[in-house]
Amino acid sequence: MNDFSNESNEKIFITGGTQLQGNVRISGAKNAALPLMTLSLILNKGFTLSNMPDLADTRLMSNLLAELGINNSWKFGKVNFHGAPKINEASYELVRQMRASILVLGPLLASKGSARVPLPGGCAIGTRPIDLHVLVMEALGANVYYDSGFIIASVGSEGLKGGLIDFPKVSVGATESAIMTSVLAKGKTTIINAAHEPEIVDLAKCLISAGADINGVGTSTIIINGVNELNPVDHEIVPDRIEAGSFAIASGMTKGNIEITHIRPKDLEFFLKVLNYTGSEIKIDTNSINITSSKRPEPYDIVTQTHPGFPTDLQAQYMALMSIASGSAFIKETIFENRFMHVPELLRMGANISIKNQIASIIGVKELKGSKVMASDLRASMSLILAALAALGTSEIDGIHHLDRGYEKIEDKLSNLGAIIRRSK
């Protein structure tokens, strides 16, 4: 994600030290919603998504799709998409604000036979190239080149053709691009070294309901037989496992007792084991979990990995937890090269963390202190919120536009659990 969009002067003020208690309902997953929304470019006969999180990022995707000619109307978490894309060019103004905009490339190409999408650029957490998305388009028979900051992809009169997509590296977004671009291609596509994330499974589930022929999703090899057309579909977006994990950590930070509802615990299996090793008690039900944390967290080392390993999107939040642990822990980040931007800010709050290469060494401190801090990206902003919930005194968190990209109604949800939190200029 780029980090220069929707900046506001708003800040969040948190007075720490309250034990969080009660229920929190988790929203639909941002990272499932974004690729699902781009399916509206190929699902032109009727498409509705429910459990849609109302976030800066999903609103931005909605505007991008509207500019391309897809009308979308929002009502109580339900979004109806109508129409087919009228133009093949995505606007720089919108794409530059969100890296996930690259996901329109494949569906636009499948629908229009050509697509012009501005390069999304790097972001705070790393350079984030798009070569694997380009590899997908080329493997399916497209001609791709770069001109004046745009990626331009086109296919001949025969359209997209199924092919072999052998990823040299596992990528969530490129796996999604591969699925979305090949469902309407002629013939068979084989995707090797595919990512397994639940959001990818959700995308495939939606397409299968629309009549796509997809096998092996959730494993490393996905096989797709192209179909001629897709039918109307209503799909409910999978719950946000990262939001759920963030609230689970909030319990650990505050010796809390939180019931986290409307989730799929299976999607968090590895993370919940780790949280249990840190001393939180976890009761798992079909669609909810209860987390009780009664003592200072115990240290436990983690390495971020693709699903089903420890998610990189919970690394910053987990570091806040380890910063108050009763000993030392290591956190190794393997997915993004620069995802420790929260560290200097946690240091301001009294944490004891040093970084060497991609490994953070954290020596737990007894107490964090409320401070003025700056969020640098979405998950870093949640890490600082969590640290502030545990800290002595009041923290002032700046850079809140990052938080609004991925956490729906966060102040309401936290204050319902007893947090002392307010937003103000």
Q: Show which residues are catalytic.
A: 123
Decide: is 385 part of the binding site for ligand EPU (CB under 6 A). Answer: no
Decide: is 203 part of the binding site for ligand EPU (CB under 6 A). Answer: no
Decide: is 274 part of the binding site for ligand EPU (CB under 6 A). Answer: no
Q: Cβ closer to ligand EPU: 174 or 400? A: 174
Decide: is 55 part of the binding site for ligand EPU (CB under 6 A). Answer: no
Residue 283 C-alpha from the chain's centroid: 25
Decide: is 413 part of the binding site for ligand EPU (CB under 6 A). Answer: no
Question: Quick one: three-class SS letters along the chain?
Answer: CCCCCCCCCCEEEEECCCCCEEEEECCECHHHHHHHHHHHHCCCCCEEEECCCCCHHHHHHHHHHHHHCCEEEEECCEEEEECCCCCCECCHHHHCCCHHHHHHHHHHHHHHCEEEEECCCCECCECCCCHHHHHHHHHCCCEEEEECCEEEEECCCCCCECCEEECCCCCHHHHHHHHHHHCCCECEEEEECCCCCHHHHHHHHHHHHCCCEEECECECEEEEECCCCCCCEEEECCECHHHHHHHHHHHHHHCCEEEEECCCHHHHHHHHHHHHHCCCEEEECCCEEEEECCCCCCCCCEEECCCCCECHHHHHHHHHHHCCCCCEEEEECCCCCCCCCCHHHHHHCCCEEEEECCEEEEECCCCCECCEEECCCHHHHHHHHHHHHHCECEEEEECCCCHHHCCCCHHHHHHHCCCEEEEEC
Q: Which stretch binds ligand EPU (CB under 6 A): 5-13, 45-53, 130-138, 413-421?
A: 130-138
Decide: is 124 part of the binding site for ligand EPU (CB under 6 A). Answer: no
Residues in a beta bridge with 22: 258
Decide: is 128 part of the binding site for ligand EPU (CB under 6 A). Answer: yes
Residue 206 has which token pair? 């939606």
Q: Minimal distance in Å, beta carbon 336 to ligand EPU?
A: 5
Decide: is 34 part of the binding site for ligand EPU (CB under 6 A). Answer: yes
Q: Cβ closer to ligand EPU: 137 or 414? A: 137
Decide: is 126 part of the binding site for ligand EPU (CB under 6 A). Answer: yes
Decide: is 172 part of the binding site for ligand EPU (CB under 6 A). Answer: yes
Q: By the 8 A CB rule, do 324 and 364 touch?
A: yes
Decide: is 64 part of the binding site for ligand EPU (CB under 6 A). Answer: no
How far apart, in whole angstroms, are the C-alpha atoms of residue 77 and residue 247?
A: 21
Decide: is 133 part of the binding site for ligand EPU (CB under 6 A). Answer: yes
Decide: is 171 part of the binding site for ligand EPU (CB under 6 A). Answer: yes
Q: Which of 100, 117, 151, 249 binds ligand EPU (CB under 6 A)?
A: 100
Decide: is 151 part of the binding site for ligand EPU (CB under 6 A). Answer: no
Decide: is 42 part of the binding site for ligand EPU (CB under 6 A). Answer: no
Decide: is 238 part of the binding site for ligand EPU (CB under 6 A). Answer: no
Decide: is 322 part of the binding site for ligand EPU (CB under 6 A). Answer: no
Q: Cβ closer to ligand EPU: 160 or 341? A: 341
Q: Which of 129, 149, 156, 327 binds ligand EPU (CB under 6 A)?
A: 129
Q: Cβ closer to ligand EPU: 34 or 214? A: 34
Decide: is 378 part of the binding site for ligand EPU (CB under 6 A). Answer: yes
State which of positions 329-358 bind ligand EPU (CB under 6 A): 335-336
Burial 82-107 (b: 16+ CB within 10 A, else e): eeebeebbbeeebbbbbbbbbbbbbb
Q: Which stretch binds ligand EPU (CB under 6 A): 40-48, 168-176, 214-222, 380-388?
A: 168-176
Q: Minimal distance in Å, beta carbon 32 to ligand EPU?
A: 8
Decide: is 174 part of the binding site for ligand EPU (CB under 6 A). Answer: yes
Q: Minimal distance in Å, beta carbon 303 to ligand EPU?
A: 14
Q: Which of 27, 312, 323, 371 binds ligand EPU (CB under 6 A)?
A: 312
Q: Which residue is nearest to ligand EPU (CB)?
A: 173
Q: Cβ closer to ligand EPU: 14 or 103? A: 103
Decide: is 166 part of the binding site for ligand EPU (CB under 6 A). Answer: no
Q: Quick one: which of 270, 293, 367, 279 has its CA closest to 323?
A: 367
Q: Which of 36, 39, 132, 417 binds ligand EPU (CB under 6 A)?
A: 132
Q: By the 8 A CB rule, do 400 and 10 touch?
A: yes
Residue 42 has which token pair? 């190929």
Binding site for ligand EPU (CB under 6 A): 1, 31, 34, 99-100, 126, 128-133, 169, 171-174, 312-313, 335-336, 378-379, 406
